[in-house]
Amino acid sequence: MSKENGIYVANAPVSYGAFEVTVGIDPNVPDGLELLDAVAAGGYDGIDLGPVGYLGTGAELGRRLAERGLGLAGAYIEFTFHDPDRVTSSMPELDAMLDTFDAVAPFTDSPAPRPTIADAGSDARHSAPGSGARNPDSGLTNEQWDKFTIGMNRVLERCRERGYEPTLHCETGSFIESTAEIEKVLELTDIDVCLETGHQLLGGGDPLDFFRKWTTRVNHVHLKDVTTSVFDDIVRMSQPSSAIWANEAFPRLGEGDFDVAGFVGMLIASDFHGWLVVEQDIFPTTVERFAQAIDDQRINREYLRALGV
C-alpha cells in the first residue's frame, strides 16, 4: 500500500462507540467483523486497534485486515507515569498490545502502528476537565514530574526494544492536557507527539499553532472536530470528562469550530508522512446511534478526500 502524499487515513473503533467501556458490555456495540467491514467500506486505509482482542487476535486479525485492504494505525494505552508501581503493573497490557502489532506485521505493507501513549490523569482532573489550562496548580508537582519522566522513559524503552516508535497523546482529564503540559513532556523526554486536535482544543490549545512550532516532533495525528459550546456547557455545569463523549462534543469533520480544512492543508504542505486517524468519539445508547456512526464515518472520509487526503 502506498500513498502519493504519504498520508494514510484510518479510523478508530471509538468513532463507532466501541471502546473499553462498551465492548463486551453494551449489546448494541457492533462486533469486530462488522466494524472492520464498515471501516473498509468507508474507504479508509486502516484502523486503530481498540480493546485488544475486539477486532481479532494474532494472525487471525492480520488476515482480517489484509482481506479488507486495511493497515493497523496504532493503539491507545494509558499509564500513571508518576507512580512507579502502577507503571510496572501496566507493562503486561503494553506487551499484549505490542504482541498484536507483531502478529499483524506480516499481513500489511502500510506504516507501522504507533503505540499511542497517554497519561491516566486522576479523579480530580477527570471531575474538572480543562483544568490544565484553567487551573495549572492542579497539575503535577516537580517531584511528580521527576517520577513521571522516569516512568515514561521506561515505557519508551519497552516500545523501542520491541521495534515500535511511540507517540504522545494528550487527553482531557489527564496530566498531559494543556499545551504547557504537552510541551513539558517534549522537553523532558524524546518522545514525539500525536497531534490530537480535539483534546488539544479542549485543553485550551491551538493545534495549528502547535503544529507550526513542533512540526518535527509530530509523528502521528488524531483528527477531530469540536463543538466548543458543548464543552463550555460541560465546564459550566461541573460535569466530568466522560460528559465529552456522552454529550458528543466531537461532531463530523467540518461541522464544528475547528479549522479542519486549514489544518489538513498545512499537514499536506508540511510533507507529513504517516497515519492520520479520524476520531469522532461517541458514547451511544441506542441501536440507531450506532447505525448513524457508520454513515458519519463514511461522510468524514468523503470530506477528507475532497481536501486531498
| Residues in Cβ contact with 139 at an 8 Å cutoff, skipping those fewer than 6 apart | 131, 132, 175, 181
The C-alpha angle with vertex 219 and arms to 108 and 188, in degrees rounded to 5, equals 135
Q: pTM of this prediction?
A: 0.96
Instruction: State the cell numbers at 123.
Output: 479523579
pLDDT of residue 143: 98
Q: What are residue 27's phi and psi, to 5 degrees? A: -70, -15
Q: What percent of the chain has pLDDT over 70?
A: 99
Mean of the pLDDT values across residues 100-120? 97
What structural domains does the chain harbor? 7-307 (3.20.20.150)
- In the beta sheet, which residues pair with residue 75? 115
Per-residue pLDDT tens for 66-109?
A: 999 999 999 999 999 999 999 999 999 999 999 999 999 999 99
Above 60 in pLDDT, residue 2? no
Contact 74, 167 (CB under 8 A): yes
What interhelical angle do 84-104 and 58-67 show, nearest 10? 50
pLDDT of residue 62: 98
Between CA 146 and CA 125 the distance in angstroms is 19
Per-residue pLDDT tens for 140-183?
A: 999 999 999 999 999 999 999 999 999 999 999 999 999 999 99
pLDDT of residue 50: 93
Per-residue pLDDT tens for 223-281?
A: 999 999 999 999 999 999 999 999 999 999 999 999 999 999 999 999 899 999 999 99
The conformational region for residue 3 under phi > 0 = left, psi -120 to 50 = alpha, else beta, is beta
pLDDT band at 28 (very low <50, low <70, confident <90, very high): confident
pLDDT band at 284 (very low <50, low <70, confident <90, very high): confident
Whole-number mean pLDDT of the chain?
95
CB neighbourhood size of 135 (10 A): 13
Say how many residues make up the chain: 309
